Chains A and B, each alone.
Chain A
């Protein structure tokens, strides 16, 4: 296959960027999208041009490091698939593909296709954990968790923190990311003591960096782990409820 790429090149955060066109010849359909970029980069180096900077690490769709806009879609056309797991067989000979960094005000460009997603860490830091010191827990089987609860918590916990949800959102909102962590912890019995404080702290921190959710649903479609937008409903539910909760009585109220 022969593919024409239009790639966003930007030398550093403060310098203006622009698209550059590259023709990549002899692309095998069994290559992954990032392997195709690897091949292009090797050729660029040999031609004396700086290779395209992009992030990737595990290349198994689990670390969340990779992610670019491919023809305007975060992670490209294949549903439930991170960029590193997208293969060239999803494209056709002669295609022109536009490759850009995540589009979001909260994720400034570092170089070329690499962006800064540290705002996600700030949200987790605000309360995305259960406060349990090393060494203090009870035996694991003393906390039974009904299977449907464990399964749903897992569905939320599957988030890889790639930022596709933000890049897809017309408002640049991070509600799906935040909701996934809030739901993971707030659904579990272990997460109950801090449930109400957690949701308020995480949502308030989220709003310092990101836009507001207006229920477009683009995030769910872009998510490489197909995390359901239902978790945003749970986030909103818990946030509103938290504002009315008398924390001293939560043990009675459940």
Chain B
């Protein structure tokens, strides 16, 4: 079926769009909700909050996770905080300002109406979380505390020490378990979705594999919601958890869901630099550290003196120098590229010269060690455990690493993909962050989609299917999808090649990091486009997967995920090559200002790239971005 991009953005003034839309779309009455079945895949912030909210409304929900418990989802690892335009600090915040900061931070590559709605419902999220018992940081008067984050000049970030994601996820997980107890939600743990089933162009169910027994089962429903997170693990080394993968969204893409802006991948500026070749993942140090830490490098390249012996006038606090207005709190893409420039020009620090300093000496002198300990104690401990260095005494070393993906399945204003009945929420969709996400906005978006957007908008789709049964799982559509899944598993188990799955993942990651990472060029991307298919061919014939299907087989699980990463990596490079401009996290070397900043080309590229899978060359569809309420300008954080 040909793809048509209809964003379904409601008309009218920006601040009324969501209210108008909620009124004009169809609802399902309470007694009828129990006649519907909804599948939710993923139990992170978006999935758990959506499944819990559907259950409360009376829908029958099946929720799937490949973890042993919903609480393990990677949202749990988010550290710094969640934004909301509460203006509790009386510093001039408003819904419009949060909207504006997010649009600007995303370098004018997101949809105005979606972002405004996000800023509006941010208020409800904090209320909801507090009522659930999420222990946000508080002032002595008992009211909520806030801190600042990159890309904003107000303090609007709510936080729970350095474990905000954990506490918000536990809140959503608890709400979900309450519905499991109530019988509205059926929980399926250790089940991995391996295909989407479509019939007559609609999403009607999924195929899953039980990770402990290898059993393949079919599940049908009136609608399918993917809340399966992002794909930064395509780079092998990233801050994502080991199991994060793109399989659910990629296989949905191959069934007809357009994939939007795949090359918009965020490289987070403050991660612990790689220490050796064996490293399996990189560890993030929360962006909140940039509130009190000062970033610097030695002025002289190759200065190997210990940091405490480098005098003040031989240090370059380069972010404060280049961006005096925002200083150390510039957005992530700007901070990351600046760090890369410093390291590339020989100013890198540490044993491998692959980092910059993040120094707390001034903050400790100004506020006292106990204040810093209260704000960031757990992060400092984590840093010391990994590096064996004490950041209260020695500056931290940090370097950018893949962290988040703004790209994802294309969705309309209702969060529905180009396959009717298939919805994508949270990091799995592309909707709100444009070409760069601001800190503390991922938690906000995941919960906005799950608690406050999809529970309303899904009704408009479901209304058409009242009193119809889900497609039975013995339908040929299910059998066909099942057979394809079983064939792929059999192929992996038969191909007793010579190299491990991880070997291929590492090699793929290296190509993508080199040519489709923090900066990209036509030449490099062309190179990646010739290297990736060659490596993929080798992978298909030479990968070694031992063991069997019938017991836990982690190599087999990973082989399927890496297979999808190859195909996705290719699309990322195609997208990056096609977008001949620099915007946000997508930095094309050919398009930069004389100062080395991203040079957007609004006249030609002010659109969302939505790619259609064809089996051969992907086909590009464009969703034009129009700006009625803000005027795109060159971002300045000076």
Contact = CB atoms under 8 A, between A and B. Distances in A.
A57 B77 CA distance: 10
Nearest to A89: B388
A61 B241 CA distance: 11
A57 B243 contact: yes
A31 B133 contact: no
Given A53-B554, A63-B74, A129-B177, A144 B143 contact: yes
A51 B281 CA distance: 19
A28 to B, nearest CB: 5
Contacts of B166: 62, 158, 160
A157 B138 contact: no
B174 A124 contact: yes
Contact of B385 (A31, A50, A65, A81): A81
A64 B131 contact: no
B615 interface: no
Contacts of B382: 60-61, 85
Interface string B184-195: 000101000000
A20 B175 CA distance: 43
Interface string B101-139: 000000000000000000000001011111111011111
A224 to B, nearest CB: 11
A45 B241 contact: no
Interface string A117-142: 11011001110111111111111110
A87 B386 contact: yes
Interface in A1-36: 11-12, 28, 30-32, 34-35
Interface residues on B, range: 35 or more
Contact of B242 (A56, A126, A135, A140): A56
B77 A140 contact: no
A153 interface: yes
Interface string B497-511: 010101100000000
A58 B241 contact: yes
A197 interface: no
B276 interface: yes
B397 to A, nearest CB: 13
A39 B503 CA distance: 11
Given A50-B546, A63-B241, A140-B126, A130 B174 contact: yes
B124 A62 contact: no
A150 interface: yes
B177 A128 contact: yes
Contact of B551 (A11, A121, A160): A11
Given A46-B500, A62-B77, A134-B56, A154 B281 contact: no
Contacts of B220: none
B214 to A, nearest CB: 11
Contact of A118 (B69, B138, B551): B69
Interface centre among B139, B280, B452 (most CB of A within 10 A): B280
B165 to A, nearest CB: 8
A125 B310 CA distance: 56
B301 to A, nearest CB: 25
A144 B140 CA distance: 10
Given A135-B124, A137-B128, A124 B173 contact: yes
A85 B385 contact: yes
A51 B142 contact: no
Contact of B554 (A46, A51, A58, A144): A51
B131 A137 contact: yes
B451 to A, nearest CB: 5
Given A38-B278, A145-B142, A153 B135 contact: yes
